[in-house]
Amino acid sequence: MASTAVTGTAAGRTRYRLPQLTIAWFTGRRAARTGALWGLVFGIYVYDNAFAFHTIAPTAARRDSLLDPMARNPGLKALLGDTRQITTLGGFTDWRAIGVTVLVASVWGLMAATKALRGEEAAGRWELFLTGLTTPRRAAANALTGLGSGVLAMYVLTALLTALVGARADIGFSLGQSLLFAAAVVAGAAMFAAVGAVASELMPTRARAAGLSAAVFGAAFMLRALGDASATAHWLVYLSPLGWVEQLRPLTGAQPLWLLPILGLVTACAAATVLLADRDLGDSLLADKDTARPRMALLDSPLSFALRMSWPAIAVWLTATVVAAVLYGSLAKSTGQAFAASSALRKFTGQLTHVAQRQLQLAGTRVFAGIIFLILMTLIMAYVASALGKVREDEAEGYLDNLVVRSVSRRRWLCGRAGLIFAVLVVAGVLAGMAFWAAAASQHAGLGVHKLLLAGINSSAPAALLLGIGLLALGFIPRLTTLVCWGILAWAFLLDMLGSAVKVNHWLMDSSLLYHPALAPAVNPNWRIAGTYLALGCAAALLGGWRFTRRDLQSS
Amino acid sequence: MNTCGRTGQVALRAEELTKHYGAIVGLEGLNMTVTAGEVLGYLGPNGAGKTTTIRLLLGLIRPTAGRAEIFGMDVTDEKVAVHARVAYVPGEATLWPSLTGAETLHLLARMHGQTDVAYRDLLVKRFDFDTTRKVRAYSKGNRQKINLIAALATRADLLILDEPTAGLDPLMQQAFRESVLEAKGNGQTVFLSSHVLSEAEALCDRIAILREGTLAEIGTLAQMRHLSAVTVEASFPNSPPPALDKVPGVSAVQVTGHHLTCQVRGPIDGLLAVLAPARPETLFSREPSLEELFLSIYGEQEHANHGAHGG
């Protein structure tokens, strides 16, 4: 066999500029792409809000009769934030646009950070990076810089689009207002990316780092919501990073000094990340024990094993559902009273939820509960998208191979996983109904357990259809399963937000899984639609499952 | 307990087994039979189609054409029944990081449906494996031990091993060889894909060599050696006879001073007739090792390719 000797000379080698910044480029490229995409969505949403304000309340009289009572509504405050100056365009946009976008941006931040730091390390790529011209601390700083470029891309797009929308004569936001508004929107991304980075140094796996960051995010949301909803404990808002964002009020008497605690948190977390990064590869501050006494429970079948591996995630999703239901259930009575007091407000709510518009005779409490169950629908769909992503990951990473090369058929494995997800989404719906009822009953809101139970089950229907569509994707386009699931959820959420305020083409609205189900308990559940969703979901799941058993397994 | 297929029974049969990935050929028209109780070495360089073959045999991917059966059962249509009689060791294991070694062994045994617990305990000792640690804390070699122990302990009729000793130290490689010979003694069939040619040479009854998705050679080592060239080395008091490469069957003639090295394919008497008048002082001939066979097969291919391209 011939061999060829290659003589290397220094002159023949290609030299790359700034090799120390390789990780920053690598992380930044991905973060900037998704950051820019979300910046675009946020910009469109700002336009939607400004347009919605003029549609909902075109005159001063309408604003007074419709929006003024909302300013005193604790449920709406808990939902999206402080409703002060909601009768002005700036106040309405501050409340509604920042209230929604800051949550989405925060989740983006924590997911991007845990993936860039702990995710890359767990996948073994960090090891390759660290053998280059860098140190662990420099590598962490690089990753943070990359994440920063993602936040920057999000900021630039949001600011640009807000400034363009604000330049319209009927809107009139100044450039300074637009810039501060964009800063408020992306502040959540920056803060929770920083929190996610610290969590990645503390926790041994990406899932746990994301879990810790999500817990911090949940606590921040709860403090902000309780502070906004309560007259006596408003100070809680100042303890929450999301409360600090709320205090910026970019369009209604800007308070840019609140950027200081935000910058302080980001700086402190970034510094902590860099300091903690000087550790052994694969290690973490809160490391697991490397040894354990064997526990053989739930290792006897594919289904029980799936339950064993996914119960922490299931527990987190169910807890989040119950906590949200309890929080808003406890506000149901006072919010309902506010709704009932204002017929104009009830009309607004009808537009907000578009399906309930024809059912305005219903009590305000039920209308509020209907809005909350719409949010719970989204939450349960998010669980399904996340769980299906994990199912695909098991195939992509090769875990599935270990089972199907033994006496486990693909059909049995998939039925177990799909059945478990379906059981959880039904349980989530039931628990949501029960938790909301328990909290509302403690305030004597007058909502019956039967109605709320049915509302909970009704709220599981879109998730059941999403499960079917996800399985269809798993069968035919496995590598796109996660993208399809989250894409459908994001599309439905976006259309629901847009459609609640502006007139959207009905063909487009029809494509949203959240559009068709009745907003129980504001109205009675439409079991025909829920049944159709279930039947379509089953058909899609059967087709996807059939294909899954016949195609090649596909690794990542 | 010997649950293996009867000697002489076909354990594995591939008929025109083909797999294409779009325009890329993973495997082309593989025809092969492995009888029960046999140890077959399946060799080839990276990308030759070894893992594709194994994934086809396990039903993880479907053939583009052709078929394969294991103990008479179609690997595509009767996957679960096939898997009940097969144990598989992948080259690179993806195991659940949060489980301990003991938990993983228990899980894999339950998913297979059968295991010899006493034998598993023996294997744990033989491979010096600490079952109390979590998978994430194991080295690559230790993770491979989990797969080996789990597969061997099933005492399945057919063991399909894909680079099973990757990451194992020499002592553990020895333990592996001992275990495979035990399995062979028990009548189990072994399909061994490996890059370690000495391992294949020591363990295998027959060798199959794969080249660019097609089966280049299959047979016992003796058969392959018979078809291959013998290396002859001789030293002379004076210069070796000239024009040796004109002798039928002789090639690769190298003369260094009074020393001659050449290769002879087929009968050696023609060469001896030419060398004898020169009164050789020493004369050695040896059969090629598996490594030399392997390299010669690939060398021929490379030569053929260069020839085709060049001319």
Amino acid present at A361: Q
Q: What angle do CA B240, B241, B246 make, to 5 degrees?
A: 125
Q: Return the exposure string of B39-64: e unless at least 16 CB atoms fall within 10 Å of the residue's CB, then b.
A: bbbbbbeeebbbbbbbbbbbbbbebe
Angle between helices A241-248 and A99-114 (to 10 degrees): 140
Per-residue pLDDT tens over the stretch A516-544: 999 899 889 999 999 999 999 999 999 99
Residues 6+ apart with CB under 8 A from A530: A457, A458, A461, A517
Q: Cβ(A520)–Cβ(A451) under 8 Å?
A: yes
CA B284, CA B160: separation in Å to the nearest integer?
39
pLDDT for residue A11: 63
Encoded tokens for A72: 């005193």
Q: Closest Cα partner for A88 from A163, A190, A214, A177?
A: A177
Give the pLDDT band (50/70/90) at residue B301. low
- pLDDT score of A15: 78
Distance from CA of residue B215 to its chain's centroid? 13
Cα–Cα distance, A196 to A119 (Å, whole number): 11
Residue in A1, A2, A291 nearest the CB of B132: A291
Q: How far apart are the first and last CA of chain A?
A: 35
- Which residue carries 């270990």 as its tokens? A402
Residue with tokens 């009590």: A363
Long-range contact list for B27-31, CB < 8 A, 24+ apart?
Answer: B27/B52, B27/B53, B27/B56, B27/B213, B27/B214, B28/B213, B28/B214, B29/B65, B29/B66, B29/B214, B30/B66, B30/B214, B30/B215, B31/B215
- Residue A407 touches partner B, C-beta closer than 8 Å: yes
Split at pLDDT 50, 70, 90, the class of B1 is: very low
What count of other Cβ atoms lies within 10 Å of the Cβ of residue A480? Answer: 13
Alpha-carbon gap, residue A442 to A424, rounded angstroms: 26
**Hey, how many other C-beta atoms are within 10 angstroms of the C-beta on B105?**
26
Q: Which amino acid is at A167?
A: A
Chain A: nearest CA to B19, how far in angstroms? Answer: 11
CB contact residues (below 8 A), chain A span 272-301, against chain B: 288-296, 299-301
Task: Give pLDDT, residue B27.
Answer: 97
Instruction: Find chain B residues with C-beta within 8 A of A553's C-beta.
Output: 55, 60-61
Say how far apart CA B175 and CA B152 lie, in whole Å.
Answer: 12
SS (HEC) of A357-381: HHHCCCCHHHHHHHHHHHHHHHHHH
Give chain B's length.
311
Of A1, A95, A135, which is closest to residue B306 (Cα–Cα)?
A1
Which residue in A409, A551, A553 is closest to B80 by CB distance? Answer: A409
CB contact under 8 A, B83 and A399: no
- What's the rounded Cα separation, in Å, for the pair A531 and B247? 86
Strand, helix or coil for residue B260: strand
3-state SS record for A114-146 = HHHHHHHHHCCHHHHHHCCCCCHHHHHHHHHHH
Chain A CB contacts of B80 under 8 Å are: 407-409
**Nearest by Cα to A429 from A350, A376, A375:** A376
Distance CA B81, CA B67 (A): 16
Sign of CA dihedral B174, B175, B177, B181: positive
Q: What is the pLDDT of residue A358?
A: 41
- 3 state SS of B255: strand
The reply to whether residue B79 touches residue A404, judged by beta carbons under 8 angstroms, is yes
> A–B: how many Cβ contacts below 8 A?
94
Q: What is the dihedral of CA A469, A470, A474, A479, to 10 degrees?
A: 120
Q: Say how far apart CA B262 and CA B250 lie, in whole Å.
A: 7
Contact A462, A428 (CB under 8 A): no
Mutate to test the interface with B, among A206, A308, A407, A546 (most CBs of B within 10 A): A407
Closest-CA distance, B70 to chain A, in angstroms, reads 13
**Which residue does chain A place closest to B147, by CA atoms?**
A402
Alpha carbons A158 and A40: distance in angstroms, whole number: 6
Instruction: Please tell me the distance from the alpha carbon of residue A241 to that of residue A121, in angstroms, as a whole number.
Output: 28
| A525, A355 contact by CB (below 8 A) | no
Query: Residue B60 and residue A553: Cβ atoms within 8 Å?
Result: yes
Which residues, at least 6 apart from B165, have a Cβ–Cβ distance to it below 8 Å? B144, B172, B173, B176, B194, B196, B199
- Long-range (24+ apart) CB contacts under 8 A made by A356-359 are A356/A519, A356/A522, A356/A523, A359/A522, A359/A523
The SS3 assignment for A552 reads coil
Interface check for A551 against chain B (CB to CB < 8 A): the answer is yes
Task: Give pLDDT, residue A338.
Answer: 73
B191: nearest Cα among B18, B85, B42, B80: B42
Selecting from B79, B95, B110 the residue whose C-beta is nearest the C-beta of A299 gives B110
Whole-angstrom distance, CA of residue A99 vs CA of residue A246: 8
Which residues of A40-151 form beta strands (DSSP E)? none
B55-65 residue pLDDT tens: 999 999 999 99
Is the distance from CB of A94 to CB of A85 less than 8 angstroms? yes
Q: Kindly report, residue by residue over B236-283, the tens digit of the pLDDT.
A: 998 899 889 889 888 889 999 999 999 888 788 889 999 999 999 999
The residue among A94, A407, A365 whose CA lies nearest residue A251 is A94
Residue A293: how many other CB atoms lie within 10 Å? 8
A251, A162 contact by CB (below 8 A): no
The tokens for A403 are 């089972």
Contact A402 B111 (CB under 8 A): yes
How much is the ipTM here? 0.83
Burial of A333 (0-12, 13-18, 19+ CB in 10 A): buried
**Joined tokens for residue A173:** 């936001």
Interior/surface letters A106-145, b for 16+ CB within 10 angstroms, e for the rest: bbbbbbbbbbbbbbbbbeeebeebeeeebebebbbbbbbb
Q: With an 8 Å Cβ cutoff, are B137 and A293 in contact?
A: no
A407 vs B60, B90, B113: nearest CB: B113
Q: What percent of chain B has pLDDT over 90?
A: 67
**pLDDT exceeds 80 at position B292:** no
Asked if A407 and B79 come within 8 Å (Cβ–Cβ), the reply is no
Q: What is the pTM of this model?
A: 0.86
Give the integer Cα–Cα distance in Å for B100 and A89.
Answer: 59
Closest CA of chain B from A280, distance in Å: 13
Q: How far apart are CA A113 and CA A118, in angstroms?
A: 8
Contact partners, residue A489, CB within 8 Å, separation at least 6? A378, A381, A382, A385, A466, A513
CA distance B77 to chain A (A): 10
pLDDT block averages, 10 residues each, chain A of length 556: 49 76 91 94 87 78 73 81 84 90 95 94 85 90 97 97 92 94 97 98 92 95 93 92 96 94 98 95 85 92 95 93 93 77 55 46 75 93 96 95 95 97 98 96 87 95 98 97 94 81 78 92 92 98 97 89
**Per-residue confidence (pLDDT) for residue A4, from 0 to 100:** 44
Cβ–Cβ below 8 Å for A291 and B100: yes
Give pLDDT tens digits for B110-144: 999 999 999 999 999 999 999 999 998 899 999 99
* Nearest residue of chain B to residue A303 (CA atoms): B111
Side chain identity at A252, as an amino acid letter? T
Q: For chain B, what is the total number of helices (H) and then of strands (E)? A: 10, 14
Q: Provide the token pair at A344.
A: 């104009």
pLDDT at B223: 81
Chain B residues within 8 A (CB-CB) of chain A? 55, 58-62, 79-80, 83-84, 86, 88, 90, 92-98, 100, 102-103, 106-108, 110-113, 131-134, 136-137, 295, 298-299, 302
Rg (CA), chain A: 25
How far apart are alpha carbons A184 and A178 in whole angstroms? 10
- What residues of chain B lie within 8 A of the CB of A397, using their CB? 94
Report the pLDDT value the prediction gives residue B308, as an integer from 0 to 100: 47
Whole-number pLDDT of residue A20: 79
The number of beta carbons lying within 10 Å of the beta carbon of residue A419 is 12
Question: How many beta carbons lie within 10 A of that of residue B114, not counting itself?
Answer: 16
The predicted structure's pLDDT at residue A416: 97
**pLDDT of A398-434, one tens digit each?**
999 999 999 999 999 999 999 999 999 999 999 999 9
The reply to whether A313 touches chain B by the CB within 8 Å rule is: no
Do the beta carbons of residue B4 and residue B187 sit within 8 Å? yes
The predicted pLDDT at position A347 comes to 54
DSSP A7: -
